[in-house]
Structure 1
Amino acid sequence: MSQDYSAFMQVFIDAWCNKDLETLMDCFTEDAEYNNVPMPPVNRGAAEIRAFIEGFLGSMDSIEFIVHRQVINGNTVMNERTDRIVLNGKQIELPVMGVFEFRDGKIARWWDYFDMGPFTG
Structure 2
Amino acid sequence: MASNTEIIDGFMAAWNSLDIDAVMAHFTDDASYANVPMGPPHVGKTLIREFIDGFMATTTEINFIVHHQVDDGRGVVMNERTDILQMGEKRIELPVMGVFELVDGKISAWRDYFDMGGFA
Q: TM (normalized to structure 1)? A: 0.94
Shift of 1:108: 0.3
Q: Unaligned regions of 5+ residues in structure 2, if any?
A: none
Give, as a single letter, the amino acid of the residue that structure 1 aligns with 2:10: V
- Select the structure with the greater relative contact order (CA < 8 A; seq sep ≥ 6): 2
Question: Aligned equivalents of 2:55 and 2:2: distance in 1?
Answer: 29
Q: Unaligned regions of 5+ residues in structure 1, if any?
A: none
- Structure 1 runs, 4 residues or longer, greater than 2 Å off: none
Question: Aligned equivalents of 1:69 and 1:24: distance in 2?
Answer: 21
Shift of 1:91: 1.1
1:50-61 equivalences under 5 Å are 50-61=49-60
Shift of 1:93: 0.6
| Per-residue deviation, residues 13-60 of structure 1 (Å, max 9, x unmatched) | 111011101111110000000000000231000000000011111111
Shift of 1:118: 1.3
Give, as a single letter, the amino acid of the residue that structure 1 aligns with 2:5: S
- Provide the residue aligned with 1:85 in structure 2: 85
Q: TM (normalized to structure 2)? A: 0.95
Q: Give aligned-pair identity as a percent.
A: 50
Q: Superposition RMSD on alpha carbons, in Å?
A: 1.1
Give, as a single letter, the amino acid of the residue that structure 2 aligns with 1:85: L
